[in-house]
Amino acid sequence: MGTVFYPAYNDGAPDKDTERLLARLSKTPGTPFSQMTVKDVRDTFFDKEWLAKPDEGIKINNVFIPAMSGSIRLRVYTPAGEGLFPILLFFHGGGFVVGRVEEFDSFCASIAAGANCLVVSADYRLAPENKFPAQIEDLETVLKWLPVNAKSIGGDRNRIAVAGDSAGGNLAALASIIDRDKGYVGIVHQVLICPWLDISLTERESYKFFGDGIWLSKSTMVWFRDHYINTNEDAKSYPASPIFLENFSGLPPALIIAAELDVLADEGKLFRNKLVSAGVPVQYSLYKGTLHDFITLPLLFSRANDAIEEVCHSLIKHFTL
């Protein structure tokens, strides 16, 4: 029989950190997103006690770049020492609706320190104030700006990788595709962390197993989708859903970090298969017993440190090829 928290799932079980967290959350279930305003969800998306302090050796500053919408803020994390540093362009998660770049300070600083690289976190526009494809417009603006201006922020334009978690994983995958097709950057590596690659919410097995879960449910994904997308037809095609891309050849080598107990787990696996079939090198790492986006919250999940270390090692490898 399945676990207490995921009774339909028989192939694994929560690790100790996950089980402890789910037990605690089950005693004080929160209000469903569908019954909350966007502002209230944004204000409570991350419990402040979950967020670690960023590495003190990392300098954090903001750069504003021109855009058709006015400007886009880039939050830049610079390690100690002299540049020019390789660059990781990062897109944060939050279903395209929530998530503040500051909430990812600790994660980005950890990557900057561990991979000795510049991390540039893009503060892209959020829905529903700015629906699809506003986020892709911001992404492309950053792709155009970054290589031309890399030196001004201490970065090496010839060593640029891209990463993102959840919805940010969608944008990171899109960045690699757009760059392949338009040649803005020459991205050397893509890191996709629990990526949301199918906005249409195709009901794969991972949705059936974990869709009623406490941490990330199908109803929450529906809430995100309905705020982000204009029509269901948009959701069922590329570029909203990178999983439906027709040509995967020529994309940069990928690292895909997946969580076992995640409604999006099957999307990462399917994307891996499509990349491999197209001849793209892929490292796929499934972290057993973990929840969606565990990597960003090391105070809750000890396995986050292992995953962060894996990301850093992969970045170092591809920055030096």
Catalytic site positions = 166, 262, 292
User: Token digits for 1?
Assistant: 């029989």
Nearest partner of 172 among 113, 281, 258, 256, judged by Cα: 256
Residue 26: how many CB atoms within 10 A of its CB?
Answer: 11
Residue 157, number of CB atoms within 10 A of its CB: 16
Q: Give the integer Cα–Cα distance in Å for 77 and 312.
A: 14
Dmax of the chain from CA atoms? 57
Considering only CA atoms, which of 121, 118, 55 is closest in space to residue 94? 121
The continuous run of DSSP H or E covering 232 comes out as: helix 232-235
Q: Is residue 50 within a helix (H) or strand (E), and if so which, with residue range?
A: none
Look up residue 166 and give its two tokens: 């959840």
Residue type, 219: S
Q: Dig out the tokens for 296 from the structure.
A: 């960003």
Helices (H) and strands (E) in the chain, counts: 10, 8
